[in-house]
Amino acid sequence: MIAQRAGTTALRRVAAAPSSVFKLAPLAMQTRTFQTDKLTPAEASALLAQQRLKRPVSPHLEIYDPKQTWFGGSAWQRITGASFSGALYASAVAYLAAPLVGWHLESASLVAAAAALPVAVKGGLKFLVAWPFVFHAINGVRHLAFDLGIGFTRATIIKTGWYFWGASIVGGLYLAFFM
């Protein structure tokens, strides 16, 4: 009995004393091994912002239907409108700068320059100007109808989109070669 008590006392003493031999001593004493960190709200927000950057991004451009992303009416409405207005702005500024730089951009010079081009180039350039014009015009009417709520369902938008693409090409060809 004395030997047993001596054994348990010895164990207790070993468990209580920090020792390099018996490394699991702290666990036998049920000490906490995890600590909570104290973060200020700013640090916590910064950590959240960092973590958000590491989250996986759902696939978007690589899986979406290219017929809708690349041929969508509103995207091309913007592209054609911006190219037309950009050309207008550029030529207007060039017209203002012409006397200072020595160019001739009056209507008579433009007509003469256009007349001197070969027929194929004339037709091609006219189509390049006519198609965006027709597309923007008829698609603009379509978008105004959308703004009134007419035909604003997904199926209708996709189907009529293709009709308007065809109509704009036909209209552009007509304006370029038959006007």
**Residue 50 binding other proteins, by CB under 8 A:** yes
Scanning 2-10, 11-19, 138-146, 165-173 for contacts with other proteins by CB under 8 A, the matching segment is 138-146
Scanning 5-13, 48-56, 64-72, 159-167 for contacts with other proteins by CB under 8 A, the matching segment is 48-56
Q: Which is nearer to other proteins, 22 or 159 (CB)?
A: 22
CA atoms of 73 and 112, how far apart (whole Å): 36
Q: Which of residues 55-94 bind other proteins (CB under 8 A)?
A: 55-57, 59-62, 78, 81-82, 84-85, 88-89, 92-93
Query: Using CB under 8 A, which of 36, 52, 102, 178 touches other proteins?
Result: 52
The stretches of the chain forming alpha helices (DSSP H) are 2-16, 25-28, 41-54, 66-70, 73-101, 107-115, 119-147, 154-178
- Which residue matches tokens 């991004």? 57
Q: Which is nearer to other proteins, 1 or 21 (CB)?
A: 21
**Residue 137 binding other proteins, by CB under 8 A:** yes
Max Cα distance, the chain (Å): 124
Scanning 9-17, 64-72, 136-144, 161-169 for contacts with other proteins by CB under 8 A, the matching segment is 136-144
Query: Using CB under 8 A, which of 14, 47, 121, 128 touches other proteins?
Result: 47
CA dihedral of residues 110, 115, 120, 122 (deg, nearest 10) = 30
The CA–CA distances, whole Å, from 140 to 5, 75, 148, 150 equal 97, 12, 13, 13
Shortest Å distance, C-beta 9 to other proteins? 20
**Residue 20 binding other proteins, by CB under 8 A:** no
Q: Which residues of 79-109 are buried (b: 16+ CB within 10 A; e: fewer)?
A: ebeeeeeeeeeeeeeeeeeeeeeeeebeeee
**Residue 18 binding other proteins, by CB under 8 A:** no
